[in-house]
Each structure stands twice: as structure tokens, then as C-alpha cells.
Structure 1
Amino acid sequence: MSFSFFKPSRPKTPQEVVKAIRDSLLALDTKTVVEVKALEKALEEVEKNFSSLRGMLSGDGEAEPNADQAVQLALEFCKEDVISLVIHKLHILGWETRKDLLHCSSILLKQKVGEAYCCVQYFEEHFELLDCLVVCYDNKEIALHCGSMLRECIKFPSLAKYILESACFELFFKFVELPNFDVASDAFSTFKDLLTKHDTVVSEFLTSHYPEFFDIYERLLTSSNYVTRRQSLKLLSDFLLEPPNSHIMKKFILEVRYMKVIMTLLKDSSKNIQISAFHIFKIFVANPNKPQEVKIILARNHEKLLELLRNLSPGKGSEDDQFEEEKELIIEEIQKMSRLKNLEL
């Protein structure tokens, strides 16, 4: 008597898993999409295949993931152009499939052959795919998934550098103010990562694009949206005060135009914004090489500035002593400006 039908099936190889994913994605063609039953069946197949991929990359509870298989899966994804296929089909995929895809993509991006990250190299050869992910913020159905994938990509300097220098980077200034709060917040998270994850890349970008970047960044600081003002002000201090950006900060604090913006934010109705504005304003005031125009503005406005600063308090739970000490130094410096007789007021 034969019991061969109880024999477990042979596990699929990485090549077979990736081929199955590719074939099931290709099955989501125009004809399939317009036929409801055919689409449902095709999407079920895609979901099943991505579930298998997740099992191979993360383990299935019984067996630990195989490191060599993970590398092979990454290589096959690149070789078969599945990365491109996935991004272009993302809007059709179901929720579970997208969830598995995000989990798997973060693992695949980390796979190395020698010193090279194979999936990162694939993106470097197909930079237009990063543009696609950025533009997807305009589609609220997949915006959060694309945002998660973008932040995984941004962990690698070459990919972050491309997005910063691409035409699509300017779209973030629009996306962070989208009416959908979740999408706008996600876009800001990605925007923040772009400006804070890689010191050297960001420093080079800000050096090369200083005028146009700060021209448009000013719009965020003066936005009518409270969340935008608060987040962009905090982010400004985050990247301006990074040591590699010290030359950018020194240039920024010479400009009366930006000091006026920060002075306006000192008067904001939000205490949080006032405090954040103070931490940038103090750099303008403490600068030992203040231009004459900056000195004149401080002198002309010294009464209002002193009143604002004396009423400014970080509130309970903050580092009160340090704040008060800094505030007193800034007050003294403004008072000194007001006493100078050689300013052409």
C-alpha cells in the first residue's frame, strides 16, 4: 500500500518564489482588472505568493530564515525586474499584500553581495522608481505604503542624495500641507529623514541649493497651518545645528529676511512655536559678526523683543535653568544693541 500522497511537497526555491510573484503580478493586466472575479482571483494569487516570500525572509515559526536564500531572493527580484513591477502595480494590490510587501522590502534592501546592496544598486540604475514613490503621495490610497518604502530607501545615502537633488523633491513642500492629516504627517516624516539622515549628503545639498531651498522653506515657516509651522521650525533647528551644516547656519544668520521670519514666530500664539523660534533667534543675536542691518533691526525693535523674551517661559518639565540663562544672555545682548549710538537708525 502506498502512502506517497502524505509526502510533504518540496519547498520552493528563491527562483521559483520570485517567478511566481512576477507571473502573478503580470496577470494583473488591464483585462483582468476590469473583470471583478478574475481580478479577485489574481489578487489572491499575488497575496499567497507574497505570504510565501515573507515566510522565506522572516521564518514561518518553525524554521528560521536562511541568510543565503534572502540574498538569492534579492538578486532574483532585481534580475527579474520585480521591484519595478511591484511599484507600478502597488495601487492595485490588496491591503495584506501591501503589508507583506513593506515588511519584505525592508529586508531585501539590506541584502548584500560582497560590499554591494543589490536592491540599492537596482534603484541606482532605475532612479525613476524613486520618483514614482514620491509622486504616490498624491494618491491617498497608497501614500502611506509608498512613504514607508521611501523611508527604507532613504536609509542609503545614494538614494537619499538622488531624491534631494531631483525635481520631485520640491513636491514635499506641497505634500506636507495636504488636507489629509495622516498623509501630510507621513510626508513630513520622509521630508525630515531626507534632511537629517545623512550629514554629508545634506550639507552638500544645502551648499549647492541654498537660495532656492530656503526661499521655498520660508513658505513652511509662514504657513497658516499650525502643525506645518511647528514641525518645520523644529526641523530647521535640527539640521541647522548639525556640525556639518555650520557653514549653512553661519550664512543663514546673516540674513535679515530670515531673522524677521523668526521674530514673527516669536510672537506666535503657540508657546511651543515661541520656544522653538527662540532657539533659532538666539543664534542671530549671539552671532559676534552680526551685519549692521541685523544690529539696526534689533535696536529698532528692542522694546518689543525684550517684552516678548521676559514673558517667555518653557513651562514645567523643561530645562528651566539653562533656558533662563540663555534668555538673560540674549536680553543683555539686545540691550547692548539698543545703547549703541553709532547705528544709523
Structure 2
Amino acid sequence: MAELCKNIRELKSILYGNSESEPVSEACAQLTQEFFRENTLRLLITCLPKLNLEARKDATQVVANLQRQQVHSRLIASDYLEANLDLMDILIAGYENTDMALHYGAMLRECIRHQTVARYVLESEHMKKFYDYIQLPNFDIAADAAATFKELLTRHKSTVAEFLSKNYDWFFAEYNSKLLESTNYITRRQAIKVSRDANDLTDKLANMGSTELKISLHGVRMFLYSLLGDILLDRSNSAVMTRYVSSRDNLRILMNLLR
């Protein structure tokens, strides 16, 4: 085990360099090719619980770096993960393991930088689990799950727009009931942060010329929350935004939060 931890540290040194030298692009490219060709990512993810804390940290940094390494202008990691999407099942389930949650969570966020991976997670049953993970009693894990949830819903615009259009009913029903109306103090703090862009959304809605939307403007101006705002304010989600703010039930929930 000591030898394995040493090898992982050496991988990290090649990718990040050290106090004496900068990383060499040729060495990084060769390492990237061999890492994915030999299926080392799967081995590293599945064996991570057996490593000590420092080795887990090193492994997490190695995985993160390799997601961004290009070889001949191609992201090899993206091609590999597209053929091994089941690894996301392991990473997401990591939120249920207190010792592994933060390591797997960091790896997961790097992996969903690739659009095919993000689409897989969005379209899977795992999305519904995030509403529970965000309410876990461990603050650090809950916050990490919230960060991953936000990344999934804001990074790949076209994929997110398609997901929200297909899953509007259950997604926002869960968002309202489990996040905005949550009695969990941690969850409420994460969900109720007022968006700096609230007035921008109000102005956009006003320009739409809809009487129903204009009636709702006062509520929208006062009660728009950070992640919800990030989703609704994106131009790709304009149809979803219109539908959400046209609902009296949605505005009632937002107004009740500030009682």
C-alpha cells in the first residue's frame, strides 16, 4: 500500500510539477494516454476507499488534472468516460459514505465538465438523489452536493435546457418542496440566498409584454434565489423561466420564505 501511495504521488508530481520543476507537456501527454488506455481511472476510483487520507487527496488531484489534459487537441478523458459512464454511479453514491463523499464529489465535478457525462447524470435517476444529499446533516457533504448540483444545472446550457423542458414538473416540484420549503436550516441557507441578478430577470420579464407576468413582477423582484436565478436567467431557459414565474404557487412559496 505504501508503494501505491508513492506511485500516486509521483503521478501528481508529473502532472503538477514540484518545487524544483514545472510539468513537462510531453510527459503529461504520455501519462494521460497510458492512464486511460490501461483503465487506471477505474482502478483508482474503486480502490480509493482503501487508500490513506493523503493518497486520496493526491488521487483526487490526479483525476481532476487528467480531465483537462489534451493529447493531439483531444480530451482523451471525455472519450474514455463516454465508454465508462457507470463510473459516475460509483462517484455519486460516494455521497452516502462520509469518508469518501468529498473526494468522490470533487472527482464528479471534474468529470461532468464533459457534456456527455453531464447528460448521463442529468438523465439518470441519480438527479433525484441530490435533493436528499443536499439535506444531509453533515454540512460539508451537503455543501459539496449542492456545488455539484449547481454545476450540473449551469455548465452545459443546451443540455440543461433540454433536461428542464422534459422534466419540468417533477424537477421544480422537488426543488420547491425539498429545497425552498425545507425545514432544514442548512438547506434553507443554501436555497434562499438572494440573487444579485433579480432585477435583471424582472426587466426581462417586463419586456415580454405578458399581463400575468407583469402582475408577478413585484414578487420576482424581491424573491429570487441564487441557484434558481442562475437557471432561470440563462437565455437558453427562457421558456422554463416564463413557465415558472407565471405560477402563483411558485410565487407563494417564495413569498412565504420571507415571512
Q: Same fold (TM over 0.5)?
A: yes
Match of 2:88 in 1: 130
Match of 1:163 in 2: 121
1:202 to 133, 138, 160: 160
Runs of 4+ in structure 1 over 4 Å off: none
Closer, same or farther: CA 118–266 of 1 in aligned 2, 3 Å = same
Q: Is residue 237 of structure 1 aligned with residue 229 of structure 2? A: yes
Give the TM-score, by structure 1 length. Answer: 0.63
Match of 1:224 in 2: 183
Deviation at 1:211, TM superposition (A): 0.9
Matches within 5 A, 1:56-67: 56-67=14-25
Q: In structure 1, what is the Cα distance between the partners aligned to 2:50 and 2:250? A: 45
Q: In structure 2, what is the Cα distance between the partners aligned to 1:163 and 1:245? A: 19
Greater relative contact order (Cα 8 A, min sep 6): structure 1 or 2?
2
Deviation at 1:126, TM superposition (A): 0.7
Match of 1:111 in 2: 69
Greater Cα offset, 120-129 or 236-245: 236-245
Deviation at 1:73, TM superposition (A): 1.0
Greater C-alpha Rg: 1
* Contact kept? 2:139, 2:186, Cα under 8 Å: no
Q: What are the Cα deviations for residues 27-86 of structure 1, in whole angstroms up to 9, with x where unaligned?
A: xxxxxxxxxxxxxxxx21111101111121122333322112111111111111111111
Any unmatched runs of 5+ in structure 2? Answer: 192-224
Q: In structure 1, what is the Cα distance between the partners aligned to 2:141 and 2:175? A: 19
Any unmatched runs of 5+ in structure 1? Answer: 1-42, 268-345
1:102 to 42, 60, 66: 60
Q: In structure 1, what is the Cα distance between the partners aligned to 2:242 and 2:55? A: 48
Match of 2:104 in 1: 146
Secondary structure of the structure 2 residue equivalent to 1:65:
coil
Q: What are the Cα deviations for residues 204-244 of structure 1, in whole angstroms up to 9, with x where unaligned?
A: 11111111111111121110013312322421122111221
TM-align CA RMSD: 1.4
1:81 to 23, 35, 39: 39
Q: Which amino acid aligns with 1:214?
A: F
Q: Which amino acid aligns with 1:108?
A: L
* Contact kept? 1:207, 1:248, Cα under 8 Å: yes
Match of 1:266 in 2: 258
Aligned length: 225
Match of 1:252 in 2: 244
Q: In structure 2, what is the Cα distance between the partners aligned to 1:55 and 1:254? A: 54
* Contact kept? 1:75, 1:119, Cα under 8 Å: no
Q: Is residue 70 of structure 1 aligned with residue 62 of structure 2? A: no
Q: In structure 2, what is the Cα distance between the partners aligned to 1:100 and 1:50? A: 7
Match of 1:180 in 2: 138
Q: Which amino acid aligns with 2:187?
A: T
